[in-house]
Amino acid sequence: MYSKHFEHVDKLIKSLENDGAFLVVEDKNKKANLMTIGWATVGMVWGKPVMSVFVRPVRYTYDLIENAQNFSVCVPSAGKLKEELVFCGSSSGRSVDKIANSGLSFIPGHLKDTLIIEECKLFYECHILERTFLDPKTLNEDVIKNYYPSKDFHAVYFGEIKHSYTRE
């Protein structure tokens, strides 16, 4: 039944390993932002297809996703939108309107209050089920050493995948 949500996970993983993917969030006040992500997980949790995304609390996206019900992950075709991914990964939504200045086109997704990037080819629209923080007391020491030397641990958002699809 849920296997359709996982049929293109290989494309998501390749994108995350290479240039990244876009996390797009629109909060309940209709403020929107996007950021480049390189980390996400996909699987079955609580009997549902779930994507987990990682956002550091210092990011502007964190402020929005804390006041959102949904998010989307938009995956460009391999090797495409590299400049846009760099821009969205190196600019803060606090100082620049990335929605207006990214050069990307945003359209409503299938899920209420969810935007997708028209230029992408693979989409995951997710409803947030849980928000939690990585716990440094239980996190592997090598992970802390390699990824959190500044102790800026991620918040993790578990989103039920409500819609996943490709567009050509």
What confidence tens digit (pLDDT) does each residue in 12-51 have?
999 999 999 999 999 888 889 999 999 999 999 999 999 9
pLDDT given at position 86? 95
Q: For residue 77, what is the domain's CATH number?
A: 2.30.110.10
The per-residue pLDDT for 8 is: 93
Task: Give the pLDDT mean for 146-153.
Answer: 96
Domain count, the chain: 1
| SS3 (DSSP) at 85 | helix
Two tokens at 99?
């929605």
Q: Which domain holds residue 151?
A: 3-166
> Which pLDDT does position 69 carry in this prediction?
96
Q: What is the pLDDT of residue 27?
A: 87
Beta-sheet strands, E only, within 56-97: 70-75
Give long-range contacts, CB 8 A cutoff, 24+ apart: 62-65: 62/155, 63/27, 64/25, 64/26, 64/27, 64/31, 64/32, 64/33, 64/93, 65/25, 65/27, 65/128, 65/155, 65/157
pTM, rounded to two decimals: 0.94
Local structure of 120: helix, strand or coil: coil
Average pLDDT, the chain: 94
pLDDT category at 87 given cuts 50, 70, 90 is: very high
Q: Side chain identity at 38, as an amino acid letter? A: G
